[in-house]
Each structure stands twice: as structure tokens, then as C-alpha cells.
């Protein structure tokens, strides 16, 4: 068991290009449930990534009401949200679930809703929440790494955000693109304000958006409507010594070269069983940090299979002389996480540093 670096130090050293004693292993806070096994994993060096924002967004002039109730037919919880804007009412309906929320009804229902949606977007105001973010990092301590978060990319916020059914968005993109682009521009201006707040905030690095599916948006849209925003955000954060990455958990094959050309410091949530493997990723990305999601499908392997999968990926990273972090960023089987996490840590320690 290595104690050369704290879990937080080990991750940050890799992100900054400094040598470490072994490949860091991380988990989002929602997947490493506090218990004896989790404590033992932290003692072995697991770093828990706690996600927050160093700013808050308010919407003065819009009355937002949230109604919680139980669906009488299914017995499941429901959340109805009402947005009372100066240009009309928007409503949504969702079903809470572990680590996520399932959308049942989106605010946008017809082109008649564009006026209200634009009023909702224009109402947004952003302000710092630095004290809470700094206190969180201080109070959690060295087993934790607190990560800042910029909003979704302006177009991604429309495709996979809470406003449009993705299928309906595709129709609107073809039939009412001018309206979509107006919402896109409003979102872009808000995001630019967030860049400066995060750059001047207390946290060391931030994700920008994510969950992009290249097969849906295509290479041309990625180049024209995503990469410039990564560049602008990176310029703002880099000027203050901060790092930036994004969450790419789909099949990234169509945009590997474009990801390499971004100003992102790390590619997070990359799944090397869904996208090209670790060796190919480093060949494409060069000196970027590859912060993978330990492959979701591999959680069902026998424990020796999990150890060998880890050893294989670490060997590929070492052969490429790449900066590599193994993370848990997606759902895991609740009855296997303790054993699989331990097997992953075994695998990282069994490959010579």
C-alpha cells in the first residue's frame, strides 16, 4: 500500500503532468457509498471526486414552482416543474431515480413555446458561490477532490438538457433552426460569464458540459459549435492556472482527431470498450490526460478478469508514456462495486510503476 501521495495529490499530479507512484483510481461521490469497504479503498488511495459549481444561476422575473407527488397508478414519485415566465407558462414532468432523473415531459411542446423558452433563457443571472465551494474542499480533506462544473455546451444544453425531447429537437433543428440558434446564442453568452467565475474561483479544475454523442451531432457541428466554446473556456481557465476537461462517454471514434485538437487538458469518462482502446486513444490524443470510465460492461467480469482488464489498460498507458487515470463515472451494479473497485486497485498496483 503506497502512502507517497494523498489521493488528491496523486490525481492532481497526473493532471499537471508530474510523476506519480501508481495510476490513480477515482470514483464519483455517488458510487462509493460510505461504509467499511469504502474506507479501506480510500486508505489504499482511492480518490472520491465530488462534483459542485463555484457559481449559482438564478432566474429573477421567472416564478419556478416544483410540485412533488406520488403517481396513483404506479406508486412512483413524480416531480412537476412550472416555469411562469413573462411570455407564458412552461411545464415539465420527471421521475426521480437513483443517481439520475427520468424526463417524462419536457417544457418545449410546440413552436408556440419558443417565446416563453427564450424569456426563461434570458432571465438567467450568474453569481459566485466561492465560499461554499472552498469550504467543501477544505472540509472533505485529502481523500477527496472537488471538481468545478461549467454548464453544458450551448448546443448540448438543448440536445440533452432539460428543455427539449431529443427527438423533438432533431425536428426543430430542421424546421425552426433560427429559433434554435437564438437559444444557442443566449446560452453561449451565459456560459461566457461562467468561464470567468470558474477561472477566478477557488477550485483547481473544471469539466465543461459533456455527454456528447458524435454520431448524433456529426463532425461538422462538433467543429463549428463545440470546439470554439472549449477554446474560449480553456483560455479563460488557463490564464488563471486552472485545468479543463469534458465528459466523453459515448463512442468517440468520429471525433478522435478533433478532440486531440481541442484545448481541453483531459478527456474524462472515456470508455475504452465503447471507444477505441487505451493505446489508440493515446496515439490520437498525445499529451492529453486520459481519465477513463473503467468500462461499464467489464463490471460483470469475474474478479480476476477485472484485475487483468485493469492491468492491460495500465500497460497500454505505460507503453504510450501517457498520463492515465482510472475513474468510475457511470452506474455500477450495486452488488458488485465493493469487490470490483478493490480488483481495479489490485490491478493498478500489480503493474510496476
Beta strands in the chain (DSSP E): 25-28, 47-51, 55-58, 63-70, 77-85, 88-97, 100-105, 125-128, 144-150, 205-210, 243-247, 266-270, 289-293, 324-328
Residue 308 has pLDDT above 50, yes or no: yes
This prediction's pTM: 0.95
pLDDT tens profile 22-61: 999 999 999 999 999 999 999 999 999 999 999 999 999 9
Q: Where does the pLDDT of residue 180 fall: very low under 50, low under 70, confident under 90, or very high at 90 and above?
A: very high
The helix/strand count (H/E) of the chain reads as 13, 14
Q: Are 128 and 197 in contact (CB under 8 A)?
A: yes
Residue 4 has pLDDT above 90, yes or no: no
At 1 the pLDDT is: 44
Q: Are 121 and 186 in contact (CB under 8 A)?
A: yes
Query: Across residues 322-330, what is the average pLDDT?
Result: 97
Question: Of 100 and 246, which is predicted with more confidence?
Answer: 246
Residue 6 has pLDDT above 70, yes or no: yes
CB-hemisphere CA count at 13 Å for 274? Answer: 19
Amino acid at each position: 500500500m503506497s502512502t507517497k501521495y494523498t489521493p488528491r495529490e496523486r490525481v492532481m499530479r497526473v493532471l499537471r503532468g508530474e510523476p506519480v507512484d501508481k495510476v490513480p483510481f477515482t470514483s464519483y461521490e455517488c458510487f462509493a457509498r460510505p461504509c467499511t469497504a469504502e474506507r479501506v479503498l480510500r486508505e489504499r488511495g482511492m480518490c472520491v471526486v465530488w462534483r459542485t459549481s463555484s457559481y449559482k444561476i438564478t432566474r429573477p422575473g421567472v416564478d419556478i414552482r416544483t410540485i412533488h407527488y406520488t403517481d396513483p397508478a404506479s406508486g412512483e414519485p413524480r416531480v412537476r416543474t412550472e416555469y411562469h415566465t413573462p411570455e407564458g407558462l412552461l411545464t415539465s414532468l420527471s421521475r426521480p431515480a437513483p443517481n439520475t432523473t427520468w424526463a417524462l415531459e419536457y417544457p418545449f411542446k410546440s413552436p408556440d413555446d419558443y417565446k416563453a423558452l427564450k424569456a426563461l433563457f434570458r432571465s438567467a443571472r450568474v453569481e459566485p458561490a466561492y465560499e461554499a465551494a472552498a469550504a467543501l474542499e477544505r472540509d472533505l480533506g485529502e481523500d477527496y477532490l472537488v471538481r468545478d462544473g461549467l454548464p453544458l455546451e450551448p448546443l448540448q444544453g438543448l440536445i440533452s438538457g432539460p428543455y427539449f425531447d431529443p427527438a423533438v429537437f432533431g425536428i426543430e433543428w430542421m424546421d425552426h433552426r433560427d429559433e434554435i440558434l437564438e437559444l444557442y446564442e443566449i446560452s453561449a453568452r451565459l456560459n461566457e460569464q461562467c468561464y470567468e467565475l470558474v477561472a477566478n474561483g477557488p477550485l483547481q479544475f473544471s469539466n465543461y458540459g459533456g455527454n456528447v454523442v458524435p454520431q448524433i451531432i456529426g463532425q461538422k457541428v462538433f467543429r463549428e459549435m463545440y470546439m470554439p466554446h472549449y477554446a474560449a473556456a480553456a483560455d479563460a481557465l488557463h490564464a488563471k492556472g486552472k485545468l479543463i476537461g469534458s465528459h466523453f462517454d459515448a463512442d468517440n471514434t468520429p471525433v478522435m482527431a478533433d478532440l486531440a485538437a481541442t484545448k481541453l487538458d483531459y478527456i474524462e469518462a472515456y470508455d475504452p470498450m465503447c471507444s477505441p482502446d487505451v493505446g489508440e486513444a493515446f496515439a490520437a490524443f498525445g499529451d492529453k490526460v486520459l481519465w477513463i470510465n473503467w468500462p461499464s460492461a467489464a463490471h460483470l467480469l469475474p474478479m480476476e478478469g477485472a484485475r487483468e482488464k485493469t492491468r492491460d489498460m495500465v500497460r497500454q498507458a505505460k507503453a504510450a508514456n501517457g498520463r492515465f487515470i482510472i475513474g468510475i463515472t457511470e452506474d455500477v451494479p450495486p452488488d458488485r462495486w465493493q469487490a470490483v473497485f478493490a480488483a481495479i486497485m489490485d490491478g493498478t498496483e500489480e503493474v510496476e510503476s
